[in-house]
Amino acid sequence: MKLHRKLALASSIFALSIPMTAHAEETAEAADAAAKDAAELGTYGFDSDGMDPSVKPGDDFFEFANGAWLKKTDIPSDKSNYGMFTALADLSKERVKAVLEAEKDSGTKAGNAYKSYVDAERVEALGMKPVEPWLNKIRAIDSKEDYHKLLPEAGRNGVGLLMFGFVGQDDKDPESYIFQLYQGGTGLPDRDMYLVEDEKLEKNRVAYKSYLGKMLTLAGEENASQRAEAIFAFEKAVAGKHWTREDSSDSSKTYNKLTVAELDKLMPGMGMKNVMAGVSDKIDSVIVFQPSAFSGLAEIIGKTDLQVLKDQAIVQSLRSYANVLPDAVADTRFAFYGTTLSGTPEREPRWKRGVSFTEGVVGEEVGKSYAAKYFPPATKAAMKELVDNVLAAMGRRIDGLSWMQPQTKAKAKTKLNNFTTKIGYPDKWKDYSALDVKADDLFGNEIRSNNFEFDDDIAKLGAPIRRWEWGMLPQTVNAYANFGMNEIVFPAAILQPPFFDPNADAAINYGGIGAVIGHEISHHFDDQGAKYDENGRLSDWWTDEDVAAFEAAGKKLIAQYDKYEIFPGKNVKGEFTLGENIGDLAGLTVAYDAYKASLGGKESPVIDGMTGDQRFFLGWAQVWRRKYRDAELQRRLLTDSHSPSAQRTWVVRNLDKWYDAFKPKENEKLYLAPEDRVRIW
């Protein structure tokens, strides 16, 4: 996962906040007592019962490795998809729940946040009273000038209206923070959901208009259906000005540094000088990701009736606060965003939502307890060794590249040697002492938390870069690369089976977490990461020959993924997913090299009839075990820069060593002739 853009990390200003099988009673002592020399999964770290040996590896390696698991696994009713990531996320929630239940009446900030959320009776009794003062403030707006002035306050309160704003590193001056603006102003997740003629998308549009009307009704507004149509027409016009996700992911195209005066000129009639002053008096320049979208937004705002803007603000407010309002509001939001768009039948139970809410309020306070209890030093040390081995393998890969020029190789090695690796949890924890969290004030906790995060984000302007800061919590099952920081980060929760098990066979660990490590390393050298030098600065440090060779290989990978049809007429978008596909290809390639090097020249033993190389590739396939609901998979094809799990597994078809291990035949579906296999790193 790439987090080179701070949009994914920072508190959102003007942004809509959407909150990113038990061993729950386990203690550190119990965990130590239960430690065993055997792998947790199967005999060597792979769940062979989940395989389907009736499928030929060369026809579908995903089904071969995971077919039986797919057949016997049902997606839980509160999920849009289910797999290894979600199983570990459930485990993390169970563990965090145990921590929070123990603290619920202790007066800690985490305990108070959780207690305020799980007290459903109080939330229902209060009804809409907590949000009414804010809604009345919107209703009282009587000019567009007043509407524009409300934008900074809305952002500080956690309500997304017209744009996403956040503080991040200046890509061309990574030792400085700068305020940045990203296109927004729509309620559907992607511009295509408004603009593309498609039967499924049209049904979603009809459902969305119904949702808008229901939200207005819940707010006590009249003529809801007619006003919902007007909101939709406004958002469709805004979507028509939006950049595509491909263009919005291009670091070069989206680096547009403007003074506040230039921003004001770009968006006539919006009073952006005053808006920025309302955000902070420290802002003198900004990065605007999609300039034409912002000028287009200003034009549309100028033509839009004030009441439509106010109505949209009311709906966006209820969407932003739905999680801390009565179920009538939360259920309405979920019915559209959870069920219609993602196919999920039911909301999560309240305790799970309480865990997520608490993590959103004081996530690192919770993470500190989680890490102390569930992430032993031995696991961190073992992971550090793996990371070092994969980094070394990447260095050898760079040395051996035939297409990269010597001077570029030297710079690439310098960049690699400048990497920072973060494992498990932060060395410095976030300070929540200024945040007031009350056990009997859920809505107030939400507002105060949003204000706290907003202020903390703005405080970065003019201050030293926070190299200690993390973009994920220790209990998050994920990993990321941050280009500006030149770092790779692996939270504690992903460092467990099936990704990593100190007692598993090395081949499984290298095929699992080793490939994830390689994936994150390679992001710094993918289609966008390669634009950043050893200091995290956006710059041209490749020769023209390097760029041409790299882009040629990228085009082959785009073409390969473009051919994967997921639904009739709906394929993976090879260009949109290119960076992640390069990450998978390079990560697996480098992890294989690291695995072989770890053997010290010795042959790996055969275990349960599987060679070391076969186990390596099975380890890769196992971590991508996942089932999707159709609606969720369709949504992801539009909005997710990662390919679906089956196609991520299929990247093996580009590695010669996979062919040596499983001997696929030329007539089998995944087989590629040697000259058609994509080789980058």
The DSSP string of 622-673 is HHT-EEE-HHHHHHHHHH-SSPPHHHHHGGGGG-HHHHHHH---TTSTT---
Q: Check if the beta carbon of residue 618 is closer than 8 Å to that of residue 511.
A: yes
Inform me whether the pLDDT recorded for 138 exceeds 50: yes
Contact between residue 219 and residue 135 where contact means Cβ atoms under 8 Å apart: yes
Q: What is the pLDDT of residue 501?
A: 96
Torsion 53-57-63-65 (CA) sign: positive
The whole-angstrom separation of Cα 90 and Cα 70 is 18
Chain-centre distance of CA 214, in angstroms?
Answer: 29
Q: Which long-range contacts (CB under 8 A, 24 or more apart) does 194-198 make?
A: 194/235, 194/236, 194/239, 194/240, 195/236, 195/239, 195/240
Residue 250, CA distances (Å) to 74, 130, 617 in order: 38, 41, 32
Residue 420 phi/psi, 5-degree rounding, is -105, 130
Element containing residue 565 per DSSP (H, E): strand 565-567
CA neighbours within 13 Å on the CB side: how many for 463?
Answer: 12
User: How does the average pLDDT of the chain come out, rounded?
Assistant: 94
Taking the C-alpha atoms of residue 268 and residue 509, their distance in angstroms, rounded to an integer, is 56
Whether 26 shows a pLDDT value over 80: the answer reads: no
- The percentage of residues in the chain with a pLDDT greater than 90, rounded to a whole number, is 94
Confidence of residue 117 (pLDDT cuts 50, 70, 90): very high
**623 pLDDT exceeds 60?**
yes
**Bigger pLDDT: 6 or 506?**
506
**Average pLDDT rounded to a whole number, residues 93-111:** 96
Strand partners for 107: none
| Average pLDDT of span 39-64 | 97
Please tell me the distance from the alpha carbon of residue 18 to that of residue 5, in angstroms, as a whole number. Answer: 17
Q: Is the pLDDT of residue 495 over 70?
A: yes
What confidence score (pLDDT) does residue 10 get? 34
pLDDT value of position 438:
98
State the average pLDDT over residues 212-237. 98
All CATH 3.40.390.10 domain ranges of the chain, comma separated, are 39-84+375-430+464-676
Residue 298 phi/psi, 5° resolution? -60, -40
- Find how far residue 36's CA is from the centre of its chain: 34
Tell which residue, 436, 434, 647, has the closest CA to residue 557.
Answer: 647
Neighbours of 71 (CB within 10 A): 11
- Say whether pLDDT at 34 is over 70: no
Q: Does residue 2 register a pLDDT over 70? A: no
Q: What is the pLDDT of residue 160?
A: 85
At the second CATH level, the architecture of 39-84+375-430+464-676 is 3-Layer(aba) Sandwich (3.40)
pLDDT at site 37 = 72
* HSE (side-chain half, CA atoms, 13 Å) at 531: 15
Other Cβ atoms closer than 10 A to 300? 17
The model's pTM is 0.92
Is pLDDT of 12 > 60?
Answer: no
Q: What is the pLDDT of residue 527?
A: 87
The answer for residues whose C-beta is within 8 angstroms of residue 576's C-beta and 6 or more apart is: 245, 246, 249, 641
The enclosing H or E element of 100 equals helix 84-103
The segment(s) of the chain belonging to CATH 1.10.1380.10 are: 128-348
User: Residue 28's pLDDT band (boundaries 50, 70, 90)?
Assistant: very low
pLDDT value at 8 more than 80: no
Q: What is the pLDDT of residue 151?
A: 96
Angle at 456 between CA 149 and CA 366, to 5 degrees: 130
- Write the CA distances from 360 to 124, 285, 301, 347, integer angstroms: 21, 29, 32, 18
Helix axes 578-598, 612-623, angle to 10 degrees: 150
Mean pLDDT of 149-156: 96
Q: How confident is the model at residue 1 (pLDDT cuts 50, 70, 90)?
A: low
Cβ–Cβ under 8 Å, residues 421 and 386: no
Burial of 667 (0-12, 13-18, 19+ CB in 10 A): exposed
In the DSSP assignment, the letter for residue 346 is S
Distance in angstroms (rounded) separating the CA atoms of residues 230 and 166: 29
Beta pairing class for 487-491 and 570-571: unpaired
- Residue 461 CA to residue 450 CA, distance in Å, equals 18
Could you check whether the bond before residue 189 is cis, i.e. omega within 30 degrees of 0?
no
Which of 11-25, 153-167, 445-459, 520-534 has the least mean pLDDT? 11-25
Q: Which of 623, 447, 454, 662 is nearest to 88 (CA)?
A: 623
Residues 274-312 pLDDT 10s: 999 999 999 999 999 999 999 999 999 999 999 999 999
Task: Compute the average pLDDT of residues 120-140.
Answer: 98
- pLDDT of 314 > 80? The answer is yes
Return the CATH number of the domain spanning residue range 128-348. Answer: 1.10.1380.10
